[in-house]
Structure 1
Amino acid sequence: MGLFNGIKGGLIKETGNAVSGIIDKLVTTDKERLTLQKEIMDVINIFAGKMMDVQRDIVLAEVNGNKLQRSWRPIIMLAFGFIVIYEYFISKVFGLPPADLPTKFWDLLEIGLGGFVIGRSAEKIAGSLTSSGITLNKKSKRQ
């Protein structure tokens, strides 16, 4: 999950920089400033770690769930694909009314495609880890 770690790292860095700027304005001594920055960054790191744990648990629940839980993303993407094919090919070839897709549809499609690719990658990684005997819990160890 290198991509997720990169996102987490960027989020932590940006938040830390913002907090450091505020602390620099409010605190005058270097010792207090460093202590406050460390405490706040510790809280941010704990929160980001918990967020990653929740995301991991969701992916694992989908991977280990029933067939519908494992295949909801492909089903949605197939539906989106059909809508696009209908709009640009079927409606024109057969003289059917166009779907008149709103701009928000394209935003949703873009988000869905990004989520599908990331989610599918996470599924593959989780599947390969569990099939190789690695458990994905807080004490990640070989079985």
Structure 2
Amino acid sequence: MSWAGAIPVLGTLIERVLPDKAKQDEAKQKLANMIVNGELSELSERAGVIKAEAQGDSWLQRSWRPIVMLVFTTLIVCRWLGWSAPDLSEAVELKLFSIVQLGIGGYIASRGIEKVADKLRR
């Protein structure tokens, strides 16, 4: 769950409940820390799932995500080279591209979280 959209609403609520500016700032900081820590733990759990798959016993278990990403990337490249189905819509192309972007972004984020989590554990 992403709390980013709720931050302005919660900030306004804090301002209405706490009249003192210093207490408002303190409450907002605590709220921000709770949100960041919650999101980091959620992302860390997701990274743990991917790490468990990558260390699994089965070749397919370890490789299915990279295979899917390679297939989608290949479909995008083939489309750009003109080697795809003629009735493939632009919406489908954009969806494939979004999936590849999400996959690459997820990989990069999970690697970053692993590094941050290791530093926090120490």
Shorter-chain TM-score category?
0.5 to 0.7
Instruction: Give, as a single letter, the amino acid of the residue that structure 2 aligns with 1:107.
Output: L
SS at match of 2:82: helix
Q: Is the 8 A contact 1:62 1:69 kept in 2?
A: yes
Name the counterpart of 1:107: 94
Q: Which structure is larger by alpha-carbon Rg, 1 or 2?
A: 1
Deviation at 1:41, TM superposition (A): 2.3
Pair 1:46–1:58, CA change in 2 (3 A): same
Q: How many residues align?
A: 114
CA distance in 1, matches of 2:61, 2:39: 26
1:70 paired to 2:62: yes
RMSD: 3.9
Instruction: Give, as a single letter, the amino acid of the residue that structure 2 aligns with 1:30.
Output: K
1:88 paired to 2:82: yes
Q: Is the 8 A contact 1:23 1:33 kept in 2?
A: yes
CA distance in 2, matches of 1:37, 1:49: 18
Equivalent of 1:46 in 37, 50, 57: 37
SS at match of 1:32: helix
Q: Is the 8 A contact 1:77 1:113 kept in 2?
A: yes
SS at match of 2:67: helix
Q: Where do residues 1-143 of structure 1 align in structure 2 (5 Å cutoff)? A: 18=8, 19-65=10-56, 66-80=58-72, 81-82=74-75, 85=78, 88-89=82-83, 98-121=85-108, 139=121
Over residues 96-115 of structure 1, what are the superposed CA-to-partner deviations in whole Å (9 max), with x where a residue is unaligned?
A: xx341233322321222223
Pair 1:50–1:113, CA change in 2 (3 A): same
SS at match of 1:60: helix
Identity percentage over the alignment? 21
Over residues 40-94 of structure 1, what are the superposed CA-to-partner deviations in whole Å (9 max), with x where a residue is unaligned?
A: 22321331221122122122112212322332233223433247637923x6xxx
Q: With CA pairs under 8 Å and 6+ residues apart, which has the higher RCO, 1 or 2?
A: 2
Could you list the runs of 5+ residues in structure 1 that have no partner in the other structure? 1-10, 92-97, 130-135
Instruction: Give, as a single letter, the amino acid of the residue that structure 2 aligns with 1:54.
Output: E
Query: TM-score, normalization: structure 1?
Result: 0.53
